[in-house]
Amino acid sequence: MSVNSYLYNKKSKKELEKDLAKEDFPRITISFYKYIQLSNLNELRDIFYQDFINLNILGRVYIANEGINAQISIPKHNYNNLLNYLNSHKTLNGTNVKQAIEDGLSFYKLVIKVKKEIVAFGLDQKNFDMKKVGKHLDPLEFNKQLSNPDSVVVDIRNHYESEVGRFKNALVPDVERSQDLLKEIKTMLKGKEDSKILLYCTGGIRCEKASSFLIKNKFTDVNQLSGGVINYAHEVKKNNLESEFIGKNFVFDARMGEKVTKEIISNCHQCGTKSDSHTNCANDLCHLLFIQCERCEDKYKGCCCSECLEYKNLNQEQKEKRKNQFLDFNKNRLMGKIKPKLYKINKSN
């Protein structure tokens, strides 16, 4: 490693965004994962960081004893170099790389973290056997099985993801955290242990582990959409198939979502009009994830409620005085929720 090398970001968000704006080449957003036993995680993390920086990669990468999970942005001219790098790596060769449905400025820095899990389901590893996972179905076969009256299709994502896009007739867990997903799904599927279960998620990584969990819990016919919604959308377009997925595919980066079909199946959380645009509340003490239409974005300056707008408009001295009061209000209002329930907003305005 060279003397000038570094293993973490040293710049502010503003500096990073300025650097990104100066780039005169296109970027593509890609994702990949692999369940494989890894060791020496801290050393591996540092190696990946240096190698990815050399390829001018931005994004988020998690590594754990169970494998790797990456969502990254890479210069288009370095894409093949990354594929060669992965295939030359003794643990990552053969990794399936998926390109995003829609490109855009997805990340502004590189973060690589050592985690307990690459998917945070929060259950002991005894609940999984990653050598026994659900059968992979390509998009054509998945579509075929959707029409099977004995099939049960299950969304392995959080509610705010399925709210803007999902497969028709899918069971959608009303949970806000990955840690609650598998318990909720097991409850929803009680009595359906011998049914044909069809799982789907964004890119496949959650289905892989969820299918193993269901098999451990005596489900006999567990299947998963190969490559997730990302691969499904590409194949539908490529092969002129009918899309049984409607709406937008939520993504965990600055884009917030990718259009799969033209339908808008969700509503603005403030006025109730059709909208599928997720945003984070512009109040720095809130940052609630919610859906906001253009009209409400303009009206409330990107804030999720009148209290947040009021606090955002205070000067710095006023903010400091009212900070604790606002934090107490926000804690009681949200109670850990990601989706807002009732806002104190006069909708007639």
Instruction: Return the pLDDT at 324.
Output: 92
Instruction: Return the pLDDT at 164.
Output: 95
What tokens appear for 268 in the block? 């603005």
Candidate from 121-135, 151-165, 308-322, 324-338 with smallest mean pLDDT: 324-338
What tokens appear for 272 in the block? 């109730």
What is the secondary structure of 11-36 as a DSSP string?
S-HHHHHHHHHH--S-EEEEEEEEE-
List the domain boundaries for the chain.
Answer: 23-114, 125-247, 267-349
Global pTM reads 0.83
Using 50, 70 and 90 to split pLDDT, how confident is the model at 347?
Answer: very low
* pLDDT for residue 30 is more than 90: yes
Please tell me the distance from the alpha carbon of residue 54 to that of residue 42, in angstroms, as a whole number.
19
State the residue for tokens 């299947």. 223
**CATH code matching the domain that covers 125-247, chosen among 3.10.129.10, 3.40.50.1820, 3.40.50.1110, 3.40.250.10:** 3.40.250.10
Q: For the residues 323-333, what does the mean pLDDT come to?
A: 86
Q: Where are the beta strands (DSSP E) in the chain?
A: 27-35, 58-64, 67-75, 97-99, 110-114, 135-137, 151-155, 165-167, 196-200, 221-225, 245-250, 257-259, 278-280, 289-291
Could you tell me the sign of the dihedral formed by the alpha carbons of 70, 164, 331, 185, in that order?
Answer: negative
Q: For the residues 61-85, what does the mean pLDDT come to?
A: 95
Q: Is 305 labeled as catalytic in the residue annotation?
A: no
Question: Is 84 buried (19+), middle (13-18) or exposed (0-12) by CB count in 10 A?
Answer: exposed
- Digit-coded pLDDT (tens) for 256-314: 788 889 999 999 999 999 999 999 999 999 988 999 999 999 999 999 988 999 999 99
Catalytic residue among 201, 207, 268, 296: 201
* pLDDT for residue 18 is more than 80: yes
Strand partners, 72: 30, 59
State the Rg of the chain over Cα: 22
Chain CA centroid to CA 188, Å:
22
Percent of the chain with pLDDT over 70: 93
Q: Which residue has the higher pLDDT, 298 or 96?
A: 298
Candidate from 74-78, 131-135, 242-246, 330-334 with smallest mean pLDDT: 330-334
Architecture of domain 23-114: 2-Layer Sandwich (3.30)
Q: For the residues 62-69, what does the mean pLDDT come to?
A: 94
Residues 238, 240, 244, 250, Cα dihedral to 10°: 30
Alpha helices, DSSP H, located in 240-312: 294-299, 306-312
Residues 6+ apart with CB under 8 A from 45: 63, 112, 113, 114
Asked if residues 58 and 72 have their Cβ atoms less than 8 Å apart, the reply is yes
Using 50, 70 and 90 to split pLDDT, how confident is the model at 2?
Answer: very low
Question: Is 96 buried (19+), middle (13-18) or exposed (0-12) by CB count in 10 A?
Answer: middle
> Mean pLDDT in the chain?
89
Q: Is 245 helix (H, G, I), strand (E, B) or coil?
A: strand
* pLDDT for residue 337 is more than 80: no
Q: For the residues 322-334, what does the mean pLDDT come to?
A: 85
325 φ, ψ to 5°?
A: -60, -45
Candidate from 128-137, 154-163, 326-335 with smallest mean pLDDT: 326-335
Asked if residues 224 and 143 have their Cβ atoms less than 8 Å apart, the reply is no
Strand partners, 151: 196
What tokens appear for 190 in the block? 């009680």
- Digit-coded pLDDT (tens) for 182-195: 999 999 999 999 99
Q: Tell me the HSE value of 136 on the side-chain side, using a 13 A CA sphere.
A: 12
Quick one: which of 208, 115, 194 has its CA closest to 156?
A: 208
Using 50, 70 and 90 to split pLDDT, how confident is the model at 177?
Answer: confident
* pLDDT for residue 339 is more than 70: no
Could you tell me the sign of the dihedral formed by the alpha carbons of 341, 345, 348, 349, in that order?
Answer: negative
Question: Is 100 buried (19+), middle (13-18) or exposed (0-12) by CB count in 10 A?
Answer: buried
